[in-house]
Amino acid sequence: MNSEIVILMPVYNPREEIINYIKELKKERYSIVVVNDGSDEKYHSIFESLVDDCTIINYPVSKGKGNAIKKGLNFIKENNQDRKGILILEEDYPIDKMTQLNELFKQEKIFFIHTKGKRIFSKIFSMIYHQEFKNVDSRIIGFSMKYLDQMLKVDENCYEVQVLIDCVQKEITVKEIVVDQNKECFHLKNNNRNILYVIFLHLFRFISSSVISSVIDVLLAWLLLDVLKIWMTSDFWRIAIASLVARVISTVENYIYNKKIVFKERTETKQTAIRFLILTVVITILSTLFVYVFSTLGIMSEKLAKPVGDLLLFLLSYNVQMKWVFSKE
């Protein structure tokens, strides 16, 4: 089984210990691809010592770990597609334990191996993506060859975190393996600020979509609330029609943006469109009732009640879209 696994190692300014580690991997019949991500000249002798033990891809200038990983994956796609799986190693993992991973490759699983990470990152990740991991920045990732094209589409900024998010969004079950201690790293660690940025990016996209949609919705509703006074005497139906027309127009923008950018076409168009329409109807009814009740009771004006109500419904909409509208189930 070892000969059917390709080990990909993004490397930057490595220590000499990597030489013996790779030679030991070679003895176990693993295919090894090392991407030298612009290491300093004084480290060139280390790579020269490895030319007989692995394939080395050299880049004169460092373009980042994520870029190195994707370059390596592209090389594997072109030269090693007959293999069963790929193991991305950013730190050394006990060779005697690697055979235990063979079953995961046979089951065509995606798995992450790491120590416990920052608890705050795990909690934030769980709040946004509704799935908790001990560490969101894994330095060892394994997957069967059938996921290679998917892995090549993942953004390279904090690649490891992006892979985890992508798996959660696509509802792919992943295996988490927690180990006791950190090992020798082959490349620089991800910056904490970048990790937080990537974790929040999905929510930022949803917020931006919602803000644009809400601005369109509120401005149209305000306009229609005034215009419809000319023909309508019933406040309830005037508010209902203004809310409905404004919501239909803003919904088209919101649906297209969320499907293409936020949730990235996770399901068939017909299914998501129907679910999104149902959600829109429910949100519109709740928004209409909120505006009518609060304005009728004199708690706030109808023009103020509209954005306040929509703000309160924001989290409901996000969670329903995440768990149901754009869910595969």
* pLDDT score of 224: 87
User: Tens of pLDDT along the chain (329 residues)?
Assistant: 567 899 999 999 998 999 999 999 999 889 999 999 999 999 999 999 999 999 999 988 888 899 999 999 999 999 887 888 999 998 888 888 888 888 888 888 899 988 887 888 888 888 888 788 888 888 899 999 999 999 998 988 899 999 998 888 777 888 998 887 766 788 788 888 888 888 888 778 777 877 787 788 888 888 888 888 888 888 888 888 887 888 788 877 777 777 776 666 555 567 777 888 888 888 888 888 888 888 888 888 887 887 788 778 877 887 787 778 776 55
Class of domain 2-190: alpha beta
CA distance 262 to 207: 10
Task: Please state, in angstroms and rounded to a whole number, the distance separating the CA atoms of residues 255 and 273.
Answer: 8
Q: How confident is the model at residue 177, as a pLDDT?
A: 87
Q: Domain boundaries in the chain? A: 2-190, 198-325
pTM: 0.73
